[in-house]
């Protein structure tokens, strides 16, 4: 590269491609683009619209060093220091397995389970009719009530503003009588009081503090202690909002008890007959009493806020953390992940990627062998156990490309004679960490999936499936713990 005075992006791209081709790189053009983007900070598209831009001396120096590394066969991800995975970019470093595109489908399998079984478990349940604060039906009932009062020039002149007050209770309109207000209130029913508070639970930094209480990590139900307190405070505020209707009525000159009485009576516009209303507990005309008043108050009281569900996931052999971090990013506030790896380099890199993505409140990291870092109080509390363990059979290790065998860690690759040594230990340990009905998902070598599925069935797992990747190769095995504890696999030391 020293023979040309000015090296432009195009000339560097052409020279690098030719050099790498001569050194046996079968994707030399792609490699040259990756190296140039890393050296210049430009995207691949920007390279092609800036062909005439000269490289600075610093850029040329970085590019030269990268080309030398690539010529030896070193993976591009190690040279550039990062790779894309689903919606995120993760840092890569020698000593830690590089994420593969097929592993992205493992995340899909976990998300599909969480969405159906954990996060939206009640989504298919029948929904109650939501009573809106305004409709033509409401307007007709108010107009009829006003005609019974002797008529008015317009509905809006007599009704004032019939709108939801604090806590969802209707506010009395100053232009209507108590009977007319009762008809409007019955028509409006109990208004929606708002969504449940967001579940922004924090896992906390429990990476090295083995003495830290479990509740400080996952909270009583997937929440941190601080958020448990926040949720309780929000519940108290929501409950106090139920007094909003009485306060608003008093402001309009209507006694507070008049609102309850009108709702309890549920009077029709003509003042006779029965009332059909979406508000439960409305009785016949003229029968309002203490019980009816209590029923009406119960109808209009705001619902107690219910915290959104939070899924708990443990990943074994996290490497860069790409699987667990993707789950936390793609279901923000709804997934808490415990990342485990035996290699300190992997734990450090996962921590680096977690912090860059600002996920310290959602992802905890511990170093250890398989499931041993899971604490006694956490056993049986996880919804998902997911892993991309070492799974290449020993005989296949000798056939790996030089780019893999010479640079990526054998500890993260080799899975024993049949590739299932680590997998068997995970199957043995899964019952100790998963809830009844919990999900178990692993990526494995394409030649081992049938045997892996048989191991799961033999261990007592339910719904065992072999899933193929986008190339049509068998790639993943998934299974569930039985819902009935009596039928669950017996935990074994892993």
83 membership: H or E segment, kind and range: strand 82-85
Q: At what angle do helices 449-458 and 421-433 cross, to 10 degrees?
A: 40
Long-range contacts (CB closer than 8 Å, 24 or more residues apart) made by 24-29: 24/73, 25/70, 25/71
Pairing of strands 434-443, 474-480: antiparallel
This prediction's pTM = 0.66
Number of H helices, E strands in the chain: 20, 9
- Nearest residue to 266 via CA among 145, 164, 167: 145
Assigned token pair, 465: 């499936």
The whole-number pLDDT of residue 306 equals 76
The whole-number pLDDT of residue 297 equals 54
How far, CA to CA in Å, does 310 sit from each of 19, 79, 440, 444, 478?
52, 38, 18, 28, 21
Residue ranges of the domains in the chain?
9-72, 103-121+309-487, 136-194+237-300
The whole-number pLDDT of residue 425 equals 97
Round to whole Å and give the CA distance between 359 and 354: 5
Select the CATH number that applies to the domain covering 9-72 from these four: 3.40.190.10, 1.10.8.10, 3.40.50.720, 3.30.420.480.
1.10.8.10
Do 442 and 425 form a contact (C-beta atoms < 8 A)?
A: no
Superfamily of domain 103-121+309-487: Vaccinia Virus protein VP39 (3.40.50.150)
Round to whole Å and give the CA distance between 290 and 144: 28
Tens of pLDDT, residue by residue, the chain (494 residues): 555 578 999 999 999 999 999 999 999 999 999 999 999 999 999 999 999 999 999 999 999 999 999 999 999 999 999 999 999 999 999 999 999 999 999 999 999 999 999 998 655 544 444 445 545 565 677 677 777 766 545 444 444 444 444 444 444 444 434 443 443 333 333 333 333 333 333 344 455 544 444 444 444 444 344 434 443 444 444 444 444 444 444 443 433 344 344 333 443 444 444 434 443 433 333 444 555 555 555 556 667 777 889 999 999 999 999 999 999 999 999 999 999 999 999 999 999 999 999 999 999 999 999 999 999 999 999 999 999 999 999 999 999 999 999 999 999 999 999 999 999 999 999 999 999 999 999 999 999 999 999 999 999 999 999 999 999 999 999 999 998 755 555 556 55
Query: Residue 298 CB: number of other CB atoms within 10 A?
Result: 11
The angle formed by the CA atoms of residues 440, 444 and 449, to the nearest 5 degrees, is 85
């Amino acid at each position: 590269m020293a023979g040309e005075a000015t090296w432009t992006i195009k000339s560097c791209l052409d020279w690098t491609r030719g050099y790498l081709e001569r050194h046996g790189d079968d994707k030399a053009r792609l490699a040259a683009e990756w190296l140039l983007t890393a050296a210049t900070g430009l995207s691949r598209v920007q390279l092609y619209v800036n062909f005439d831009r000269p490289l600075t001396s610093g850029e040329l120096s970085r590019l030269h060093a990268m080309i030398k590394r690539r010529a030896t066969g070193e993976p591009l991800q190690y040279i550039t220091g990062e790779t894309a995975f689903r919606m995120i970019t993760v840092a890569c470093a020698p000593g830690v397995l590089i994420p593969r595109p097929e592993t992205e489908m493992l995340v899909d399998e976990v998300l599909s389970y969480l969405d159906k079984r954990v996060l939206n478990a009640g989504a298919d349940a029948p929904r109650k009719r939501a009573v809106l604060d305004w409709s033509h039906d409401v307007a007709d009932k108010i107009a009829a009530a006003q005609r019974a009062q002797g008529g008015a020039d317009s509905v809006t002149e007599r009704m004032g503003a019939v709108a939801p007050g604090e806590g969802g209770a209707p506010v009395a309109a100053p232009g209507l009588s108590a009977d007319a207000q009762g008809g409007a209130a019955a028509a409006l029913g109990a208004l929606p009081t708002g969504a449940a508070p967001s579940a922004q639970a924090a896992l906390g930094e429990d990476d090295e503090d083995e003495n830290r209480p479990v509740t400080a990590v996952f909270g009583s139900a997937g929440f941190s202690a601080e958020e448990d307190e926040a949720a309780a405070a929000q519940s108290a505020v929501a409950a106090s909002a139920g007094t909003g209707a009485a306060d608003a009525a008093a402001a309009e000159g209507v006694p507070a008890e008049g609102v309850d009485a009108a709702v309890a009576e549920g009077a029709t516009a003509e003042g006779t007959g029965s009332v059909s209303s979406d508000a439960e507990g409305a009785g016949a005309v003229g029968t309002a009493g203490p019980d009816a008043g209590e029923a009406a108050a119960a109808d209009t009281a705001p619902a107690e806020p219910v915290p959104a569900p939070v899924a708990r996931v443990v990943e074994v052999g996290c490497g860069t953390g790409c699987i667990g971090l993707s789950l936390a990013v793609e279901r923000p506030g709804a997934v808490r992940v415990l990342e485990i790896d035996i290699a300190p380099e992997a734990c450090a890199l996962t921590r680096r990627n977690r912090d860059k993505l600002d996920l310290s409140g959602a992802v905890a990291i511990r170093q250890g062998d398989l499931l041993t870092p899971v604490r006694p109080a956490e056993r049986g509390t996880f919804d998902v156990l997911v892993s991309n363990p070492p799974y290449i059979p020993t005989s296949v290790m000798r056939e790996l490309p030089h780019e893999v065998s010479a640079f990526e860690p054998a500890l993260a690759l080799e899975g024993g004679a049949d590739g299932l040594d680590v997998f068997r230990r995970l199957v043995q340990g899964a019952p100790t960490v998963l809830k009844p009905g919990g999900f178990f998902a692993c990526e494995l070598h394409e030649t081992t999936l049938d045997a892996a599925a048989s191991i799961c069935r033999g261990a007592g797992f339910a719904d065992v499936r072999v899933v193929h990747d986008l190339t049509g190769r068998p790639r993943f095995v998934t299974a569930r713990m039985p819902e009935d504890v009596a039928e669950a696999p017996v935990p074994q030391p892993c």
